[in-house]
Homo-oligomer: A and B are copies of this chain.
């Protein structure tokens, strides 16, 4: 539902697009700058769920009455969200809003089947990563002429992993611009904020997603900073952060993060592309 409460798309994870990006060709990377991301409605819808991937058997035995809808009030003035009808312990509970896009993708490669807006991959997708916010730049590898960018699934906020299956699902005004970085290898989605560089590994288990995130970060450090694998090992061992991005989809996500302040102390590789400017 849009700002006026009108239904604009059926099913979950509504998207806008695809946008054909001039000059974007297979083998390039698309840099999407999220310039503005603003709530345009006074409520969001969620659930009181705990996703199966976060449940122990003992917790599952107690969780049988969950999965009910919960409406949240969005106080845009003060930047706060609260469960509208809470009467008990959560009567005075509120959390700061932190608007983000759950979905952001380009078309997958030749030979791939069409994908659901709920799915994810190397091309991005329903990443549900709470760092895809105003001010962030997302880098996605292009597989089709024109990239065929689409984005949506606006979340007023979510904790790591979207453990309630639905985040605070709402409507948003979005402004973005794109750059094309020509001929650049990239194994996994990358995100850059004012302070951090991040690589998102996505796979069928957290263990495999973390492997993909680490390999993707090693690739970035080699490409843009000219680090040897030994140097990368030292940077990661001393400084990497790993957070769980998503638990609610078919694939899960783990993000590897490094502070840009830290990387400024790494002598910059001469031929590194201007794509990432940490």
Which residues from chain A sit less than 8 Å from chain B, CB to CB?
Answer: 11, 46-50, 52-66, 68, 70, 81, 83, 86, 88-95, 111-116, 119, 157-165, 167-168, 203-208, 210-212, 214-215, 218, 225-244, 247, 250-252, 254, 262, 265-267, 269
Contact of A214 among B59, B158, B206, B269 (CB under 8 A): B59
**B210 lies within 8 A of A247 (CB):** yes
Please name the residue on chain B nearest to A50 by beta carbon: B233
Contact of A238 among B63, B159, B165, B238 (CB under 8 A): B159
Taken together as a complex, chains A and B put the C-alpha atoms of A205 and B56 apart, in Å, by 13
Contact of A236 among B62, B159, B208, B265 (CB under 8 A): B159
Chain B CB within 10 A, most for which of A81, A163, A206, A233:
A233
**B114 lies within 8 A of A163 (CB):** no
**B238 lies within 8 A of A59 (CB):** no
Taken together as a complex, chains A and B put the C-alpha atoms of A222 and B162 apart, in Å, by 21
Report A21 CB to chain B, min CB distance, Å: 22
User: Taking A54-B214, A111-B11 as contacts, is the C-beta distance between A228 and B160 under 8 angstroms?
Assistant: no
Chain B residues in 8 Å Cβ range of A115: 113
Chain B residues in 8 Å Cβ range of A165: 237
User: Taking A57-B55, A61-B64, A89-B226 as contacts, is the C-beta distance between A237 and B158 under 8 angstroms?
Assistant: yes
Taken together as a complex, chains A and B put the C-alpha atoms of A244 and B116 apart, in Å, by 28
Chain B residues in 8 Å Cβ range of A46: 234, 237-238
Report A231 CB to chain B, min CB distance, Å: 5
